[in-house]
Structure 1
Amino acid sequence: MESLPPLQAGQLIARGTARHLRQHDFLCIEEFVPVSGLRVDLMALGPKSELWVIECKSSRADFLSDNKWQGYLEWCDRFYWAVPPDFPTELLPEDTGLIIADAYDAEIIRPAPETKLAAARRKKMVLKFARNAADRLRRYVDPKPGRVFT
């Protein structure tokens, strides 16, 4: 059996954050593409169709190299940063949410301000989230979908 490569620092932060958000009845998809050209670290869907984007940053250099995050704001109701406990949080914009996370859990330190999506955009994003999740499950169950069964 082939072993998986070890998770990177950002992936560990995403895992802990997703675990924590599950306790709040939010389900997450990693590396979600809301539109071509944008890829968010975590998209979280809440019980009332709330959509949160969470960007996971493992270091100062990781944060400073990110120049796309403001483009994510129009695709979510709330925007959060998820960072490790030793991250210099003074770098993060104060008008965004803050989550401190490790590989196992997280804590919401600063709630993100809410900017509700328009109904049509929400419907489009929830449908895309559902289809993406279903396709990922299908690929997990059947990694070679081109097979023909007789």
Structure 2
Amino acid sequence: MLARGVCRHLRAHDFVTVEEFVPARGLRVDVMGLGPRDEIWVIECKSCRADFTGDRKWQGYLEWCDRYFWAVDRDFPAELLPEGTGLLLADGYDAEILRMGEERRLPAARRKVLMRKFARHAALRLQGLRDPGMLSAYRP
């Protein structure tokens, strides 16, 4: 539900989003947003303290985005979240940016690879919605 609110909020800022995006083997981000100036944001949704403390991979996501954010609900203990990362307060309907993540611009070559992966991911999702049996029949 947090991801839905995050995606809605980012769309209001002219971002497009995909959920459960794999930038590299072994990594799966909750939401990746692509902005109007080709900026790439990664947003990890955390529902509780245990969900956050059990996440051992989040720092590996930093090299795959220009800005990194956490999305949490009102009851989440936000003081646990590392400085320098962004913070969104979210629910199933919307979100609000409380803290902007530090900008670390991606190298051009990595940005190009991510943009291509993002486009393919989004197109496959759309095809899967239009023709659900097609994706499983043609998986390489």
Q: Do the two structures share a fold, i.e. TM-score over 0.5?
A: yes
Query: What's the % identity of the aligned pairs?
Result: 64
Secondary structure of the residue aligned to 2:4 is helix
Residue correspondences, number: 136
In structure 2, the partner of 1:47 is 36
Provide Cα deviations, 1:66-93, integer angstroms capped at 9, x if missing partner: 0000000000000000000111000000
TM-score, with structure 1 as normaliser: 0.89
Q: 2:56 aligns with which of 67, 89, 94?
A: 67
Q: Does 1:17 align with 2:6?
A: yes
Q: What amino acid does structure 1 have at the position aligned with 2:79?
A: E
TM-score, with structure 2 as normaliser: 0.95
Q: 1:96 aligns with which of 85, 88, 99?
A: 85
Provide Cα deviations, 1:51-71, integer angstroms capped at 9, x if missing partner: 000000000010010000000
Provide Cα deviations, 1:7-61, integer angstroms capped at 9, x if missing partner: xxxxx00000110010000111110000010000000000111100000000001
After TM superposition, where is structure 1 displaced by more than 6 Å over at least 4 residues in a row? none
Q: Does 1:120 align with 2:113?
A: no
RMSD (Å), alpha carbons: 1.0
Secondary structure of the residue aligned to 1:144 is helix
Secondary structure of the residue aligned to 1:30 is strand
Structure 1 unmatched ranges of 5 or more: 1-11
